[in-house]
Structure 1
């Protein structure tokens, strides 16, 4: 049995085949195409050709894609939606999408704020306005809206009004309507949680397109025995059905795949991962084998959200970053890049644009293309450029640290050939075998997770009992998502006291993960 892992990047689409013992059988890099699927098909065909395996031996296929991120950033392919907030009269002063850019806020066909919701302690704020909800859903049905975002004030404490609204929406708008409820997506904070729910609702067409497109692409290639999974941004996998329901969870799955892949290849469970692509470099942290989660609100395409996201910093440095020498002798690297056109425009490939890759080849750090073509680059200029690259890497690593101690660093991604071996602030710099396809490897070896999060008053339920129940709930969620029950283990436990709540209230969060069935 083999696993096929695919990760679609801005420059290359990487594909790997991994056997039952999680050894890499073959790996390829294939230029990413404008329509995405041509690049995926090319990578799949090439990796199968290199491995020589039979297509029927591929039993699992995993895809990591940037399409949801691109749709938000580029404002393309987003579906028109209806937005219902349950929180009147308390939340009327700040309407939904209040700080959204105009070109993105157009996705809202209708917005309504109705009575309901709860206080921070779970007490009912107001009675659920059933008639108001019914009128809104009927209006959206008449306008042909196919997706609804429902949010409720303090739904992370009490979600009964959200559930009632979702049931009512299904009854009025039909079984085919796509419903996103905020308690399943975001965390504390009405506006940010509501924003994440709105984006999730608007992405349903994109999700349907890339899940069906991937499945059809594999089928067309004769890969019919494989179960299909999508990478999500906590370093684990989800089924196609789950991806269609929660497409927002695929945002930033690329960096998490690289972090997971780098951890697996280096055998390190705790380190900083530096993933260098053709255009950008992502800095992330691996903790106990999984990406560290961001603890602050994350902005996507100008929208503040608070759903789970990896703690990642991205800078404009990559193998295709353009190198320029100014009149005063200083050298700049990036942030602009030749991207997927590196094989045409970089000097080592016969082009006339000086890139970070050309600098690495000129300094003897990498063997790529025709080295004689970069011999004209002055050594002094190349050294200056490398110092700039080194400084950018060191600044990024320092930004990810939680102390001033030196740390282990893992280099991943095809563009990491541009980074020097010695970087200040590190105890070791490791570039493992197969580093160039760490993202696709991370996708292929990923597990399935379940996360349980709830506010619990320890005066009503003792801490030990509450944590035990939360662990069991997290395990069941992982099994429901497709994990093999006997392999599920707890990978993260967190309880944070909330001083502004009554009693001894804590936010309890537990994550469990296990192998695919």
Structure 2
């Protein structure tokens, strides 16, 4: 039994090819030995238990002073689970039935809608929509219907599906009704042999991302149980009576018994361990800048950026696993099929190919230097470098085929590594590259784009070192009431809960600190905030209650089949699958040529949208949202599904409207936080149908309320519906996003209410009409009050406007503008020029006269408060110039009210200058991928680029326009509008590409 005096940690990383181990005494971490008492690398075995056993036994034999009672914990990192998903291996993946507790919502969005088709066919077996789900304030969408759940379970059982995922709307905040837990109990009573996963146990707020994660987790459960059982067996055979942990995606650890229930939390632990191990090994190096960590294993090369603070650069708000979008916090790591066991051959044209196939763990049987007959990268490396002492060199010396191909091999490996490093960079400037992993010997000593290449001591077992140094965490993500407590009191209470979770998971209480803390006031909901707190601490050596609970009651199973998959299929498939079947959440594959040569389909003055058009427009809409409007992603998926089902999406120019046409307008009204968790139902279309039934008229076209954010796509959804079947207009009433619907161009031109009557629907049986109001502001205030009682998210249908007035009031060609912006971002991504994506966007909106890059840096502060239902706050961005000290760095401050209001530069001498202000657009981009960031996405440490775009003259040409859409419209009466530049009218896609013109 480990005791309070136990000081040693064992870290083991089980890869597809090698199993690495290290015994570490952290008390000696600052010494030249770095506290590494023993380390070993051996081939991964068919049964992972044998490989772990062999590695630990060998390390014990290296030092007689190490005794099992000295070991405080064994921490294991593994790629087994993610490999099964990446390889799309049906023998290790189970089909899953999904039960959504959602009431009338989400029916138009199937499970796996944005998955790679092959993976969706393997996993997604059944979808049930049953009564249930919560509103964001904790109220019920509907009571859970137990009988309905029973019927759906019987249907799933009849299909022979034994894995079930239960996903409830806003289930992560459900501590009272416990709908997911109740549904799980029903499933177990009807179908006791089924595996059941509650989504709230898997991930946090974000309905579809959490559902995806729950499905992946449910599909892998049986394989995970068998694998982790084998890990426990290995430790027990060694007479180690200490807890067994598995490393998680964020670099922290989870007890083995919990990992068997939640294997998805370990999916990306391999690359994370490698980067944390690299950070540990480079602590004494004279490198004070970001580093690229290149981890070359037996089957893959994983590349990620290690920031100056010693932590991996995190991926954007969402991450992908084999093309499936999830909302876990992952390091931003990319993989290619290059490793020490990668096979080397020639294709039909005679060109040398390296990987992605690999001999995997069988390298000691199949590689030439070990007497095998399969040429591998290791064989070529031994032949070309006399300092590499692996296997028997005589078995490759003198082989003419290898010798003649050696220059081509070296050039190929060098080019592959240079390309993946270049892909991960956001700047063309050289950067230090740290080589780790057992396959690092195949890498050259220099790389183009690297200021230097470093391979530290013990780099071959960096993954195991990262596992051994991992800490324990506890995370709370909940919606809390601030009605009777101050924000400080609430944060303290939630922090204490996070600390308790960390301690329960095995952390030593006095070492636990709060690592992350964020608060998001919820719009249109009184006294409610979403609070996210993460606590991290060291493992408590004295704990006797954190032992490895048995995973299985059966003896260790036969892993021969699983190991054969490890050997024959490689981590390198991750790169191929991601490119061929799962790029960008199942979207189309784009290349420089495909984008440059793409022509939208336009004829007879009508633009017929394709999936490519939708992708471009969706990206552009969020950028034009200036931090607000909500993410268009969910609506993009819905539209793409419609296109795939044969629906025609039509867009026409406002110039082609007849004067007596009726132009509808509609969209979503409410909190962006709701739309991330509560899938759309029929609320938007229902409000339109109710309005026009009331008017006894039919519209001829539809215009989006705003082009910015999710509402930019609503005109397409409304227009393509069977109920209306009308074209959408290339334009909108804002030219951006604004927090309230009276901040529209019709209000600029007409003081009286012009879009009355208005109808709102919550999609759950509640509909309200506003038939009369003196002004649009009066109507807005009344409807906002109702909104808070209708789930804080409704569909809104504004009264129709004539074609004549539409042509006078509309901001023209904004859908074309979104398309051009999205195309620029896509081109930057596929040509690895994200560092200049802002400049590419600027060219599309009129060039330097119309827009500019306002600032580049990282977010260092975010404050949020709630006033009258709107999220007010301020984000502070600090320059990242290495030449300046912290005291001399410039800052950019952006206040926001749902949308960004202005950008104020604070110079190092304390002087301030407003660089851009509403109605001009201030938008913040994620510097890692060019994606827009909503104000709800602002996070400490995110690298960002801020751009400013001059607003339409519809806002700036009159005093009333500036009063409504300028700083006074946001309550800043002491600020005056100063134009950023000269407005450039967006170029019409219809005018440019109409083949009948």
Match of 1:113 among 125, 129, 139: 129
SS at match of 1:93: coil
Match of 2:456 among 410, 422, 432: 432
**Cα distance between partner residues in 2 of 1:383 and 1:501:** 65
**Cα distance between partner residues in 2 of 1:407 and 1:493:** 31
Give the C-alpha shift of residue 366 in structure 1: 2.6
Match of 2:391 among 364, 369, 389: 369
Give the C-alpha shift of residue 438 in structure 1: 1.1
Give the C-alpha shift of residue 363 in structure 1: 3.4
Give the C-alpha shift of residue 320 in structure 1: 2.2
**Cα distance between partner residues in 1 of 2:477 and 2:530:** 7
The reply on whether 1:279 has 2:285 as its aligned counterpart is no
SS at match of 1:291: coil
Partner of 2:226: 209
Partner of 1:253: 269
Aligned pair in 2 of structure 1 residues 109, 487: CA closer, same or farther (>3 Å)? same
The reply on whether 1:235 has 2:251 as its aligned counterpart is yes
Contact kept? 1:7, 1:13, Cα under 8 Å: yes
SS at match of 1:411: strand
Give per-residue Cα distances to partners, 1:106-162, cap 9 Å, x unaligned. 667764211222456766433433442355568779999875422122445x43587
Match of 2:57 among 31, 45, 65: 45
Match of 1:340 among 361, 370, 381: 361
Partner of 1:193: 210
Partner of 2:282: 266
Contact kept? 2:474, 2:502, Cα under 8 Å: yes
The reply on whether 1:170 has 2:185 as its aligned counterpart is yes
Partner of 1:94: 109
**Cα distance between partner residues in 2 of 1:260 and 1:207:** 24
Question: Structure 1-normalised TM-score?
Answer: 0.85
Aligned pair in 2 of structure 1 residues 20, 88: CA closer, same or farther (>3 Å)? same
Aligned pair in 2 of structure 1 residues 117, 234: CA closer, same or farther (>3 Å)? same
**Cα distance between partner residues in 1 of 2:484 and 2:420:** 44
Aligned pair in 2 of structure 1 residues 3, 336: CA closer, same or farther (>3 Å)? same
**Cα distance between partner residues in 1 of 2:13 and 2:358:** 20
Contact kept? 1:274, 1:412, Cα under 8 Å: yes
Give per-residue Cα distances to partners, 1:373-394, cap 9 Å, x unaligned. 3455677743332232222222
**Cα distance between partner residues in 1 of 2:352 and 2:194:** 54
**Cα distance between partner residues in 2 of 1:68 and 1:428:** 34
Match of 1:323 among 344, 355, 363: 344
Task: Give the paired residue count.
Answer: 514
Partner of 1:63: 76
Match of 1:226 among 224, 233, 242: 242
Segments of structure 2 that go 5 or more residues without pairing to the other structure are 1-5, 30-34, 541-997
Contact kept? 2:382, 2:388, Cα under 8 Å: yes
- Superposition pairs for residues 346-385 of structure 1, below 5 Å? 346-364=367-385, 366-372=388-394, 373-374=396-397, 376=399, 381-385=405-409
Give the C-alpha shift of residue 246 in structure 1: 1.4
**Cα distance between partner residues in 1 of 2:350 and 2:198:** 56
Question: Structure 2-normalised TM-score?
Answer: 0.47
- The answer to which structure, 1 or 2, has the higher relative contact order (CA under 8 A, 6+ apart) is 1
**Cα distance between partner residues in 1 of 2:456 and 2:101:** 51
**Cα distance between partner residues in 1 of 2:129 and 2:166:** 10
Partner of 1:306: 327
Aligned pair in 2 of structure 1 residues 278, 67: CA closer, same or farther (>3 Å)? closer
Give per-residue Cα distances to partners, 1:470-511, cap 9 Å, x unaligned. 54443333222211121122334566799x887999865443
Give the C-alpha shift of residue 312 in structure 1: 1.4
SS at match of 2:461: helix
Partner of 1:4: 10
Match of 2:40 among 3, 16, 28: 28
Aligned pair in 2 of structure 1 residues 302, 162: CA closer, same or farther (>3 Å)? farther
Partner of 2:534: 511
Match of 2:312 among 278, 284, 291: 291
Give the C-alpha shift of residue 89 in structure 1: 0.9
Give the C-alpha shift of residue 340 in structure 1: 2.5
Give the C-alpha shift of residue 211 in structure 1: 3.0
Aligned pair in 2 of structure 1 residues 408, 458: CA closer, same or farther (>3 Å)? farther
Root mean square deviation, CA, Å: 3.7
Segments of structure 1 that go 5 or more residues without pairing to the other structure are none
SS at match of 1:448: strand
Partner of 1:448: 472
**Cα distance between partner residues in 2 of 1:418 and 1:493:** 42
Q: Which shows bigger deviation, 438-447 or 135-144? A: 135-144
Contact kept? 1:259, 1:291, Cα under 8 Å: yes
Partner of 1:419: 443
Contact kept? 1:75, 1:104, Cα under 8 Å: no
Give the C-alpha shift of residue 262 in structure 1: 1.4
